[in-house]
Amino acid sequence: MLLKYLRLYRAFFKASFVADLEYRANFITRIFTDIFWYLAQIITFETLYRHMDKIGDWSLPQTRVFLGVLFVVDAIYMIVFHDNLDQISERVRKGELDLLLAKPVNSQFMLSTQRVSTALFGNLMIGMSWLIYSLSQIPTLPLLNYFWFLALIPAGLVAIYSVRFGFCTMSLLFTRAENIQYMWFQIYKLGMRPDSIYFPWVRFLLVTVLPVGFVASIPSRALMEPANHALFLWVILWSCILLYLSHRWWNWCLKHYSSASS
């Protein structure tokens, strides 16, 4: 079963890459657009650290690692999921979802992964380069830290995908759900800052109900701080639960979905 989905995703990748190359100017422009976003984040924190030694409990080298993790995770999320989830509401309105539901493949998988943003692989390389540079500026880390880091990256991606998918599938109930999506983007922005800057109750929300802290803050802590095994296991467990709940929520929404042709 897994091999079947891997082959299908490879076909999606090839089709997306060919489609992206048809518009080479847009392909290149999209890379440079995100580079400016990366520069804006870096300049913001570099400027802040000119006036203080720490933000929360993180120094400048640690915050640079945080930004590297953020760039890498966000790039992967954008490559695999973002464009697909962004189009769900439009597909519902145009009736394209009805055709997808008729295909003999898991509909959630098709809806979430059919389009691959191949132009953003350049962004991923830039993010990884910044992460490697930032890690070179701090003392050597234990191997256990890297183990947890590599485990928490996919867990964080699964959690963010699951929550965003839950927001997007509300389009099946309300047809137009743009304002709900706007609310998601505001929540997601909370994960683009180190969790140490927030009040304790906000930090609690960022690792429970609204797990945007999984994007970069928790993986960064896994790299730079002594291992908090209970927290890291919670992240992995909660990510799996959220994925399961997203699938149940999708099936429930389908039962209450009125197709565009009805």
pLDDT in tens, 53-84: 888 788 899 999 999 999 999 999 999 998 88
Q: How far is the CA of 8 from the CAs of 18, 87, 107, 225, in angstroms?
A: 16, 20, 13, 39
Give this prediction's pTM. 0.89
Distance CA 228, CA 233 (A): 9
Q: Per-block average pLDDT, block size 10, for the chain (262 residues)?
A: 71 77 71 83 91 86 93 92 86 81 83 85 89 89 90 94 91 73 85 88 88 92 90 94 94 80 52
Cross-strand partners of 58? 55
**pLDDT score at 259:** 67
> Which pLDDT score, from 0 to 100, does residue 147 have?
93
